[in-house]
Amino acid sequence: MKMTSNQQILQKANTPNQISTYLDDCIATILKKQLLRLNIKKVSQIIAGDLNISIKDVSSNLRCTLCECLCYYMKVWPGWKEYHNNCTTDVAKNDYHNKFREYLAAKLQYIIEHKESFLPAKDVTEDKMAQTDVDMCVKGSKPEAPYQLIVAGEPCFLNNMGFIESCGNVILTQYQGRPLNHLDIRQVLNYPYIKVNVNFLDIEFSRTSCHKFIRYISESKDSIVCPETEFLYHVKKWDSTKAVQVYTLDYISAYCKQFLAVAQRVYMVDTNKLKELELVIKQFLRDVQESDVQRHLTLSGTVVNTMATNVTVCYNIGKMTYVRNKKMAYSNSQTKNKTINFCEILVPKVEYTLKKFTAVEDGDESDITFKSLWSQNAKLQRELNERNKFNDMIKGAITYECSWCSVSFVGEYAYSSIVTHFKMVHKGEQAVVCFKCRKEFGIAHLAGSRWKHDCEKRKQEKEVSSSTTQADAEDEDSGNVLNCEQNGKTQNIDVIQNSTQVSSTAEIVSPSNEHEEICNPSSDAPVDEQNRTDNALSAC
């Protein structure tokens, strides 16, 4: 009897050599606990060759679904737990491998027979631009699932994804994203996934918007639980091999003010680029002030903020938590009342590092001024070559980076390039809701206001706890540490039972972890002062 061409293909696919080439190689890789790399072509070959399932006539959507499900079932097969106990001989291994194929084939065949349940429906009741739901509960009623879903894709997809219910299944879907309007400098500096590095003359620092996202799906009637958030997440060394030098905020601000004044006298420097640099400096100095990592009381009775080189600080900028709660449902009459919540909790975080500060103060002046800037100013006044070099330095002083896509932009058009990147690749994000007062805000708006807003509920909480906070502050003021200031640097004076012991703070070392963690506060530091940073730079 002559076999047809299809029978010949199937017979060839089921030969032992062909099987070992595909699925058995995957089994061997999994047993070695190595990373298994599969593309859609290789997975399709496994489905057609090893499992003998024809996928030539199926739709492209179903083919992709089958490939993804095959990878999933290969990972969660229950037989992996007892593999080494049962597969002691070659015969046992062959039998076990056949069971593995039967398991995979049965799962994929079920998906093909019930494909309507696994493919997304054509229409959705709500508009494709999902809206944030303001009506949220505060307390949760159900435990979390014992597993996590990992979703990967382009930024525009992850920013605009949702989940819908169909026939008892939860389907991942994508809705139309909003266009991203123009972002000004302040918005860019605090926008999610943007890192900026500044390097000129004696100073180098960086700040990163490393906002924390907590995402989960639940049923429509489940409530949203806001996790407890700390104000300071970590304060640690940037490079464990380098020393730490502490400076006051006013000392660093004075250097930046003098540098900007020198730069403004150079007619070749682009005023827009200089203004951009000034705004970046202001944001960094406000981070130092608001995070309030080391708050010192000088002998004159004034309170000063400090910052140290080679130290990284991460804090909750704005002291707020925001939520996105998206509800979507099918137009199918049988499931129209079943909605799925896709909840996103956003905790704004900024991490900043003073990588280098080598400025030397000019002790001959009554005000805080710096020798290197006086020298630089003199060179700029008399040498054209120095002015050209200075102009090039200003153009390349700021580097923008997208931490999600790992792309960076530097040079004269770095700012416009990072904005274009987010417009084209990331696109706009959905609005968020304040967890306390339920007001809705756009991401760009919050980024421009350093993730703060006029929260009425937060005001009420502060009024209730004001008396307690004042009492605690009095206790802290009578505590262990005073601080004396000399040339912008600081020294601690520990007051212990009427005796004083002076210790230099040029090297900050944690008693628990010498090279990593410097301090990890457990409570929010009070930040009630007016912004001195803008005042210090307003003359520029």
Q: Which pTM value belongs to this model?
A: 0.60
Q: How far apart are CA 165 and CA 470, in angstroms?
A: 51
Of 31-35, 92-96, 168-172, 497-501, highest mean pLDDT: 92-96
Q: How far apart are CA 280 and CA 186, in angstroms?
A: 8
Domain-wise residue ranges, the chain: 5-118, 185-212+220-292+306-317+350-457+507-537
pLDDT digits over 400-439, tens only? 999 999 999 999 999 999 999 999 888 888 889 998 888 9
Query: H or E stretch including 535?
Result: helix 532-537
Exposure string over 189-220, b if 16+ CB within 10 A, otherwise e: bbbbbbbbbbbbbbbbbbbbbbbeeeebbbee
* Phi, psi for 120 (deg, rounded to 5): -65, 145
- pLDDT-derived band at 5, boundaries 50, 70, 90: very low
Please choose, from the candidates 68, 138, 140, the residue with its C-alpha nearest in 3D space to the C-alpha of residue 108.
68
- What are the structure tokens assigned to 328, written together? 């979507």
Q: What is the pLDDT of residue 383?
A: 86
DSSP state of 396: T
pLDDT digits over 149-207, tens only? 777 777 788 777 877 777 767 788 777 777 888 899 999 999 999 999 999 999 999 99
Residue 66 clears pLDDT 90, i.e. is over it: no
pLDDT digits over 9-35, tens only? 344 444 443 444 578 888 888 888 787
Q: How far apart are CA 108 and CA 52, in angstroms?
A: 11
The crossing angle, in degrees rounded to 10, of helices 16-31 and 60-76 is 60
Contact of 323 with 435, CB cutoff 8 Å: yes
Distance of CA 316 to the CA centre of its chain: 12
Give the 3-state DSSP-derived string for 113-174, with helices as H, strands as E and coil as C: HCHHHHCCCCCECCCCCCCECCCCCCCCCCCCCCCCCCCCCCHHHHCCEEEEEECCEEEEEE
pLDDT digits over 204-245, tens only? 999 999 999 888 887 766 667 777 788 898 999 999 888 899
The crossing angle, in degrees rounded to 10, of helices 271-291 and 384-395 is 60
Q: How far apart are CA 97 and CA 50, in angstroms?
A: 11
